[in-house]
Amino acid sequence: MLRYLPLLLVLALWIYAFVDCLNTPAHEVRHLPKVVWVIVILLFGEVLVGPVAWLIAGKRRSPASGTSPFAPRRRTAGWVAPDDNPEFLRSLKKDED
């Protein structure tokens, strides 16, 4: 079973890079058109050149405005958990009174 592990890892990386390339919006793809990246990943996937090239050079990975990837992300408008919603917490305090 252990002798199949490298093959499975190569296959997993190949599939990940392929799906990631397909799901990436066209404006985030760098250096080559998206169709060419798909072809490179498929043709050179067995020797890991295509998927590794995609992961290193094909997609913008750095966060905008030069912030650290470990910095907390700003919340976007949308659903907020009740314990993080200040309005909900205020309404609980009003109900207690």
Residue 5 lies in a domain: yes
Residue 67 lies in a domain: no
Q: Number of structural domains, the chain?
A: 1
Q: Is the model's pTM score more than 0.75?
A: no
Buried b or exposed e, range 21-54, using 16+ CB within 10 angstroms: beebeeeebeeeebeebbebbeebbeeeebbbbb
φ, ψ at 61 (rounded to 5°)? -115, -20
Residue 40 lies in a domain: yes
Per-residue pLDDT reduced to its tens digit, 84-94: 778 888 888 77
Residue 87 lies in a domain: no
Per-residue pLDDT reduced to its tens digit, 6-22: 889 889 999 999 999 99
Residue 93 lies in a domain: no
Residue 73 lies in a domain: no
34: domain range? 1-62
